[in-house]
Structure 1
Amino acid sequence: MQLEDGTSAGLRKPSPPLLCRFYDRAVGAFLVDVIATRPLSRTDTRSLVYVAALGAAAVYFLIFPIWRGQFLVEIWPTESWNAYWQDAVSRGLPLYPDPTSLVGNNYPPLSFYGVALFGKLFAMGNLQAGRALSIVALVLLAIEITGIVKILAGSTFYGALGGLWYLAIMARNSTIYVGADDPQLAGLAIMGAGLWWFLDRVAAERDPTPALLLMVVAGFWKHNNIAIPLTCISWLLITRNRFAVRGVMISGAAALAGLGLCITIYGPNFLPNMLATRSYGMGTLLANIGHLQWIALALFIWLFWALSSRRTAAARFTMLHVGFGLFACLLQWLGHGVSGNAEFDLILAAAIGIGAAFAGASDTLLSHRVGPDRLRDIMVAALLLRLLASDRQETALLFLSDDFRASLRGTETNLRFEASKVAIMPGNVECKTKLICRQAGKPFVVDEFKVEEMLLTGKATPQSIAEKMAAAGITTFNETLPATAQPKASLIYWLKNRH
């Protein structure tokens, strides 16, 4: 029996709950009639609101790290460490020191050459070049997420939402890497380009080996971005791709050839530096694992969609990618001194998953109950609330607080003053804030991280370290003024003390 609306008797869809009907009339009408400046469909208007909301969040959180980049302050200790090795490349000095010395370099070589070249091309110092390159890499990663989701889930638009969320969460939560002289983001951007290229070639049933080789290059820029190559190789094997064996063998041979080339170029110091002394234990893992709270909601949204669409290639691939991202994160956090960059693989996988979840929202069980439009509204609102739900609000204080803005200027003044004192000290000098010694024109003679790991693992004692420093004529500079970029970013504190 046919009803007037064309459905069969007994098969009529249940009426939406009263709350959903009210939501449609209130929110839906607002979106169409108030926000739209020209006649648009309800879906088109919603799309514009999604982009505007997540785009505004991304821009808002990016303002602070971009503004901060102009100051001569040490954002994070690895900044000066990277800048010293970039200086070494620029000056033709050895890149991998004697393993028995008090300095070490456990990063692969390409990033140092890349940043030095970038700085030379744009007439920038290495420190500023590294900071600028990290912002460029972050934007490139957002574009790559868009393209990857387009291949996996068929939607450029929802891929762009994943990319915008990625920009926002990284600028919000990884400020010691975003806008800092660190190779992690640029290395991940090269790896992300490899993933995009890989999926494009696999979708076209072409040999993905060139994309795997690009991932090998990315590994010689920064070596701990491992989730993407593990995911791609596993996907080739799981799907029994006809190019799987060829791709794995050629890319593996290329990685070994690259290691051999580095040993040839840099000599016997290369491998001992790369295999740097480090202590391991559960303490660092337990100290860092709480940081995953920032992406927990995004992972929940992705998982809800992935389980509903688990038979699709997009869901299966993202399950593999997120799984390897989580594995890489937890594995690296077992190492002492490993920080937030260990989770970058996982955050990238989560962003791709979010884009795919937006695209496939209509396939979930909850969508059948509340409708795909309302479900996507809830997803966007929840992601935005999680981004904003924190007392740490650097960008807001940048506009609201004169003291906040002045703090970094004061820190730069302190650093320059301290550097002027170090510059007149005779011989080699150790600075706790390495940027002070670098600004003073002093060479890099003590790597505090290497020394700490030698002490923790029992490979050195405080007395043996002191003897080495004395033999090398190294004097320790005792800083009297703060010279690191640590402004007080509590909005509540500012509200309580603004009068």
Structure 2
Amino acid sequence: MPEAPPRSLSGSLFVMLLLGVALSIIVMIGGAVLALPTHIPINYNEGWNAYAALRAVGLGGGPLYPAPGGLIFNNYPPLSFLIVGELGRFNGDMIVAGRIVALVALFISAFLASVISRRCGATPRGALCAALLPLLYVAAFSHDYVAMDDPQWLGIALMLGGVTIFLGHARNWRLIAAAALMVTAGLVKHNLIAWPLAITMQLGVDAFGSSTDDGRRSARTRLSIWLASASAFVLFAVGVCVAAYGPEFLIALLRHPRVVDPSLALRGMRRTSEILTLALVATTLARRATPLRHRTFAVSAAIFAVASALLQRCGEGVALNAWFEALVALSILTGVALSPPATPSGDARRERSAVVLLLLAIAPFLIGAPVLLPRGVAAIASVGRSSSEWNTFIAKIHDEPGDVACHMNALCYWAGKSNQIDVFNYAEYVRRGGSDAAFRQLLASGRLAMFVLPATFEQPQRRGRPEPEKQGQRKLLQPVLDTFRAADLSPDGQSRLYLAPPP
């Protein structure tokens, strides 16, 4: 048996870089994984999703899709709430259940990205890059989403499952299965549109671009099967949801009040350096010998994902998770770009080129590593202390005998309090011209004994560009700031208890 050729210096450096990336991921996600079962709040979304999961499985709080004009909103499809709700019913904590689902879905998404990259022409080494890059950049720059109770990664994992089925051998049943899985993903997060659009583009190009009559006929049959099955599954899914939840389901998803400002998309671009560097690496495929299979699909997915992210970022309250589809799509292309063709002589120049491209792909992380890695170590070391401090703070909310409203809803959820108001969405509703009568009625009822608000609301506006979103919430909550008494500050200094005045 012939000996394997010795690995070149560039090849060894490439492997060492990948090992460094993998170890860095472990350091940066370690704190989030250790904090998963604790009562350390991560984001506003966690409590919001937890209360929705309670409603989805009938454990209290009213209907999953409340009537318009109230204090509670839901603009997401129901499937993630049902999944998390059933798991939470089993383990007793909806937020922990949602964190488990999100973490598992993140790793499944990374794995499927590597599979898809391989089917698009990546070598095993390039496919590994396609898996590591999303994990690296989520851990580095969107670490809140590593293990947060939020449906984004579950929806992406299901979408990528559909893509994996589609990119297998050309069989008509695969089109139907892919459509079914992607519609299922849409029942988790309905704005994940890049992948189905890319499949439609690929099938459309095949249908009208084939050089033979038989090829065009076969491709048009596949396109028809895809469009018909996708349409049928969408109609069936919508019909089931309307039958289960009433017309409020459609109103919640299609007419959700949200302030839209195109300038927000440009501001959001400032925190997406990884998108730019991965896009630069991906563009090298246009002039290199590396074959890119399913070219129309892969390139279209990246373009549609970037366009979708820009549109989504125009809405207030849309966070960096809007870029995750683009991050995955560009990581898939980058995996192919980092896969130099095998040659008998082991082309050293191509190996050196792969190292340079990998360095470019991870450049934003390398620049931030002196801050990111110590922060990861500190997060791991502080989990125990932070958990104890948050438990003490949450106990103060729990011990309050009356109703409590929370801006950070996870605190009220863990304290065993019912959901009183969805501050963000209600403020958006009021800013879009809705009445604040329901909120004024809540304050006038005297039921609220405490309100937990961002500590920043008590401070004057900082210099620089004002944030209309925060200004709108502060304006809505001004009666609370004026009449309730400021009390304890949360362990992270971000939330404060406000006690209602005596009757």
Q: TM-score, normalised by structure 2?
A: 0.79
> What residue number does 1:106 align with?
75
> What residue number does 1:189 align with?
157
For 1:458, give the aligned amino acid.
G
> What residue number does 2:283 align with?
303
Superposed, 1:404-443 pairs within 5 Å as 409=384, 411-443=386-418
> What is the aligned counterpart of 2:327 among 340, 347, 354?
347
Superposed, 1:220-231 pairs within 5 Å as 220-231=187-198
* Alpha-carbon distance, 1:307 to partner: 4.9
Is 1:390 the equivalent of 2:364? no
Is 1:233 the equivalent of 2:196? no
* Alpha-carbon distance, 1:54 to partner: 3.1
Q: Deviation digits for residues 5-32 of structure 1, max 9, x if unmatched?
A: xxxxxxxxxxxxxxxxxxxxxxxxxxxx
Moved more, 418-427 or 129-138: 418-427
Task: Give the Cα separation in 2 of the matches to 1:186 and 1:478.
Answer: 30
For 2:87, give the aligned amino acid.
F
Task: Give the Cα separation in 1 of the matches to 2:419 and 2:408.
Answer: 11
> What residue number does 2:351 align with?
373
Superposed, 1:201-280 pairs within 5 Å as 201-202=169-170, 207-240=174-207, 241=219, 242-274=221-253, 275-280=255-260
For 2:251, give the aligned amino acid.
P
* Alpha-carbon distance, 1:433 to partner: 2.2
Q: Secondary structure at the match of 2:38?
A: coil
Question: How many residues are treated as equivalent by the alignment?
Answer: 440
Task: Give the Cα separation in 2 of the matches to 1:472 and 1:271.
Answer: 34
Q: TM-score, normalised by structure 1?
A: 0.80
Q: Deviation digits for residues 186-209 of structure 1, max 9, x if unmatched?
A: 11111111111111144x676512
> What is the aligned counterpart of 2:50 among 62, 75, 83?
83
* Alpha-carbon distance, 1:165 to partner: 1.6
**Structure 2 contact 281–360 (Cα < 8 Å) conserved:** no
* Alpha-carbon distance, 1:222 to partner: 1.4
Q: Deviation digits for residues 352-387 of structure 1, max 9, x if unmatched?
A: 011111125789xxx99x821100111223334421
Is 1:285 the equivalent of 2:262? no
Task: Give the Cα separation in 1 of the matches to 2:308 and 2:23.
Answer: 31
Distance 1:288 1:392, change over 3 A: farther
Task: Give the Cα separation in 2 of the matches to 1:405 and 1:48.
Answer: 27
**Structure 2 contact 289–341 (Cα < 8 Å) conserved:** no
Q: Of the two structures, which has the highest relative contact order with CA contacts closer than 8 Å and spacing of 6 or more? A: 2
Q: Secondary structure at the match of 1:429?
A: strand
Moved more, 105-114 or 388-397: 388-397
Task: Give the Cα separation in 1 of the matches to 2:388 and 2:286.
Answer: 52
Is 1:467 the equivalent of 2:441? yes
**Structure 2 contact 194–325 (Cα < 8 Å) conserved:** yes
Is 1:133 the equivalent of 2:133? no
Distance 1:148 1:485, change over 3 A: farther
Distance 1:283 1:428, change over 3 A: farther
Gaps of 5+ in 1: 1-37, 488-499
Task: Give the Cα separation in 2 of the matches to 1:315 and 1:243.
Answer: 18
For 2:137, give the aligned amino acid.
I
* Alpha-carbon distance, 1:418 to partner: 3.8
Gaps of 5+ in 2: 208-218, 454-486, 495-503
Alignment RMSD (CA, Å): 3.0
Superposed, 1:145-156 pairs within 5 Å as 145-153=113-121, 155-156=123-124
Is 1:477 the equivalent of 2:462? no
For 1:98, give the aligned amino acid.
A
* Alpha-carbon distance, 1:310 to partner: 10
> What residue number does 1:497 align with?
none
Q: Secondary structure at the match of 2:368?
A: coil
Q: Deviation digits for residues 270-307 of structure 1, max 9, x if unmatched?
A: 22222311111123212211122122111101012235
* Alpha-carbon distance, 1:411 to partner: 4.7
> What residue number does 1:457 align with?
432
Identity of aligned residues (%): 25
